[in-house]
Chains A and B, each alone.
Chain A
């Protein structure tokens, strides 16, 4: 986790060059994020290769922003096949995101997707990502961006949330937290362990039954 934090916190060197087609191409830490000849054609080919998947899915998670060329092409494909769509972009480099947003507002380009760039350990506590991931999105990656922040994306893809109380207690809604406080659950317990432990308790609280209810609803 320290790796990912430091990775997002460190200042990357961003340069911009003009491709032969006249489009702007960002170069981050000497990695060209798009084709230096024609980024639009490259993006079009990219969208073409994923056409079948995009017909089946209207929810897409894109790993890597680049400078958005591939994303706009993907959106074009989604608009052809679906009446509504939902696209979320994950990009750890906040400087790049800022440049992209500024560029779009200058040129009056409409951005029809959300961009998340928080560190991994914080990103999974955001409701936006939860609701998005519950729709079982199609995951696509932008190869150049993926190579640029390989460890970030790999950590994201392999992430498993810790299940013990102390890790998620801070994210519980205030009322629920007060309600659960009656149960005196040990910080290193998971819900299942807390329920198992409650069988040994002399007296059960409403909080114990709340966990029991959650367990019954999610496992029966």
Chain B
């Protein structure tokens, strides 16, 4: 008798870039759930992107415009609309699924999730009492925090955490579908062109450096990624053209009138010919793989760039952004005024990203003007010096590193996180120490609670111990962080501007005491288990801090040793 195949379903009702973002996640989920039938629910307009990937056994679309068209035609009774909706979704409503992952954080997806019969749910849904059901820490975080504040840390990490998956970067695109021959040929000619213009054209205006073809990196400029009217494209393109290291290639979407308009405008101001590449979504990935780097803002191309693991310089007008998926070191964010971009900064940022020049002294053209900080998403920002909440950014960064390590179940290659080298000697150390203190405090409260619980179970002075226990719980959950820096650490109203590792642990891993149904001895045991789980998470975080601190000290020590050995050799 053959075993019954498990059926799982994913709901993703968002735009195309969200689908591409989902695919990376999905591939990892699929690796861990082999021999499983997967269904995807999405909008019909995302179908072209979905078809680029393999893995889904069934794709169900929700054709919003069809139902509203029927509903808005007064001639027809509602039965037609209801039937049309049932034609699309009836099969999934009648099916029994093992696992449902609702990746979208919106009402429609939650209602669809409520109609589906399933054994387990990740993401939001409504229960039979019309309350939103939060099935895991991720949904708690997204619903209690995300909806109120745009700034938060990387959703990708949270989702990985929620789905308890390890990330895997194996190629997931259907390469057979991507036309390659034509693009390869044109790229050979582009490289040749870059070489000729570098030795005698616009690129040679530099300080007489001899530039070879391999030195000049081809940088794609994604016209779709930045605001059309507010960006000074000419300045960005001219800067790259005039540079000795980079050669700009304009990426134009096929049949996109906006892009053509931008090109015409740029051509009016620039006196030489531009290299442009027309792409469709199906050919975009192959094109991106051929590029040495891409300048983008957000959108589909940026997500594909991440997938292809090509270095991406993200230009941002504002620090607050909803697209914070840059969880790679191959992504660098440069904040500048798009209408008047800081051209030296763009070149410096590309140097950091592509040439790997990471130390402050060598990569920055002007130390007084620039600094690298991390935003709340954990992206690294090269920005004009100003009053930024740098410490808070580092705290967020620590949280992200920790959760990445937790989810990949392996140690991070800290030496590869070159960004760490950009931190001043004291700032990271101070913050790590501060986090360790907070974690220790939490640990102490937990140990007290566990002791009180043990006494309660053994029946010694039950009344006093239980009082002590509940005061302790209240202290732990509501106002425990009497930290040295006196930052907000209330677990219910976590302040994201200052969210740190200790606070995030307390928020995401806090004991779910309200969900305990048992009473008496069993109840106490369940509470003890919850507390032990929490303690385990706190210990893990403390260990992580130790490791990071040790690495950082060692990194500094290595530098010193080298200097000494050089002196010795003299």
Contact = CB atoms under 8 A, between A and B. Distances in A.
Given A173-B86, A175-B86, A214 B67 contact: yes
B77 A209 contact: no
Contact of B108 (A168, A175, A180, A217): A217
A212 interface: yes
A199 B130 CA distance: 8
B74 A161 contact: yes
Chain B at the A interface: mostly helix, strand, loop or mixed?
Answer: helix
Interface residues of A, number: 40
B130 A173 contact: no
Contact of A172 (B72, B79, B112, B126): B79
Interface string A188-210: 00110000001100111110011
Nearest to B111: A213
Interface string A129-170: 010011000000000000000000000000111110001110
B75 A206 contact: no
B71 A218 contact: yes
B78 interface: yes
Contacts of A213: 85, 108, 111-112, 115
B290 to A, nearest CB: 39
Contacts, number: 111
Contacts of A180: 82
A160 B77 CA distance: 8
A181 interface: no
A37 interface: no
B64 A204 contact: no
A125 interface: yes
Contacts of A219: 68, 71
Interface residues of B, number: 37
Contact of A169 (B69, B75, B79): B79
Interface string B80-103: 111101110010011000000000
Chain A at the B interface: mostly helix, strand, loop or mixed?
Answer: helix
Nearest to A213: B111
Contact of B107 (A159, A216, A218): A216
A218 B81 CA distance: 9
A99 B141 CA distance: 71
Nearest to B91: A175
A1 interface: no
B128 interface: yes
A203 B126 CA distance: 11
B93 A210 contact: yes
Interface string A46-86: 00000000000000000000000000000000000000000
- Give the top 7 A-B pairs by smallest Cβ distance, nearest first: A168-B79, A168-B77, A218-B71, A161-B77, A171-B79, A209-B114, A176-B86
